[in-house]
A and B are shown apart, each in its own frame.
Chain A
Amino acid sequence: MAIHVEHEIHERRKGRNYGVGLLLIGFIVIVFGLTVVKVIQLGDAAKFEKFDHVARPQIIPEEGAGE
């Protein structure tokens, strides 16, 4: 017997699969939203610019600045 691309199990589990899909999308939205809120709450952009993994000589204190 030929195996069809659309098996009956696909139809039967459709609701469940959509549900899991929606939950995953919801999870992404929550994590993204939390990230945005937490970053905004830092206030000063310089606080999080430090962590962008790019060399930023301008945030290194100048040598001899305190002398």
Chain B
Amino acid sequence: MSDISATDTTYEANMGDYFALLKPRVMSLVVFTALVGLLVAPVSDQGFHPFIGFVAILCIAVGAGASGALNMWWDADIDARMKRTAGRPVPSGRVQPGEALGIGLALSGFSIVLLALATNLLAAFLLAFTIFFYAVIYSMWLKRATPQNIVIGGAAGAFPPMIGWAVVTGGVGIESVLMFMLIFMWTPPHFWALALFVKSDYGNAGVPMLTETHGRDATRRHIIIYTLLLVPVAIGLGFTSIGGPFYLTVAVFMNAWFLKGAYDIWKRTDADCDADKHKVEIGVFKVSLYYLFAHFCALLVEAALRVSGLGGW
């Protein structure tokens, strides 16, 4: 053969395809919550250099992206069978599965080692555990095994503020545990509110989802139970060292709003949903987004007020 281009006609993945492997939308939430965890943490007398903070957030973002790539490598078969995910880089053939695995493993190692060198071993360990939890415990094990997958898997999304806190303090505190619990308890009602109004094809892909395995009434009951469990966590955070009157006001208002929505969903039937085209469920899903954003923003505001001598207890 005299011309090498004769066999070289396959699609060449570009940087955008590799970037899509890292689930940038999930990454943005991780960056936000980790940044809040880092900014509200108490700084020692020696201070905390902003550049180290920047590198730490970068490592957490890259670690989250790495777990996304590992998830896409493992779940390529499921993704290919669902409309929402069929266009992802691996099932669409733009990136080879081996490449996704390689990128996931390489970025995991890179982010964990760099975080350990830049900050401390606890933060690096928590990041490593988060990646392991999302890729192995959630993706490889629970996702296909139980309809409670989203509950336990939600822990992976709850770790970032805890890592941000550990970056600055080198430890774990009641504040970071409650920030973890806030996201952990928020994930199920947020996700199940979505599951009630989105026509999913998880069933076709063989992924057990509560709406399909236990029905919509059971899902409504789960939403109100998890929302009730969420409220004391969110309010309790307001009485710790990172809380204060401003956070508590926001938390009381948002929890009342979310709880009212969960109660409304609980009282509804499928006939109600068909009648108003899931108006309530869609509304509660939106409230759930504001809910998390408002709580973490309120923590940031409280930290800023504390610096100026106004916030805190």
> In residues 1-34 of chain B, which contact A (Cβ within 8 Å)?
2-5, 8, 12-15, 18
- The reply to whether A16 and B51 form a contact with Cβ atoms under 8 Å apart is no
Size bracket of the A interface = 10 to 19
Interface SS of chain B: helix
Residues of B within 8 A of A45 (CB): none
**Could you tell me how many residues of chain B have their Cβ less than 8 Å away from some Cβ of chain A?**
19
Q: Does B55 contact A (CB under 8 A)?
A: yes
Residues of B within 8 A of A64 (CB): none
- The reply to whether A37 and B49 form a contact with Cβ atoms under 8 Å apart is yes
- Quote the shortest CB–CB distance from B49 to chain A (angstroms): 5
Q: Does A56 contact B (CB under 8 A)?
A: no
Q: Give the CA-CA distance A19 to B3 in the complex, in Å.
A: 28
Interface SS of chain A: helix
Taking a contact as CB atoms closer than 8 A, the residue among B8, B12, B117 that contacts A16 in the complex is B12
Number of A-B contacts (CB under 8 A): 35
Q: Give the CA-CA distance A8 to B18 in the complex, in Å.
A: 21
- The reply to whether B12 and A34 form a contact with Cβ atoms under 8 Å apart is no
Q: Does A55 contact B (CB under 8 A)?
A: no
Q: Does B118 contact A (CB under 8 A)?
A: yes
Q: Does A47 contact B (CB under 8 A)?
A: no
Instruction: Encode B104-147 as 1/0 by CB contact (under 8 A) with A.
Output: 00000000001001100000000000000000000000000000
> In residues 1-42 of chain A, which contact B (Cβ within 8 Å)?
1, 3, 7-9, 12-13, 15-16, 19, 30, 33-34, 37, 41
Closest to A31 in B: B114
Residues of B within 8 A of A34 (CB): 51-52, 55, 117-118
Chain A residues close to B by CB (< 8 Å): 1, 3, 7-9, 12-13, 15-16, 19, 30, 33-34, 37, 41
The 9 closest A-B pairs by CB, nearest first: A19-B15, A1-B2, A37-B49, A37-B51, A12-B12, A15-B14, A1-B3, A33-B51, A34-B118
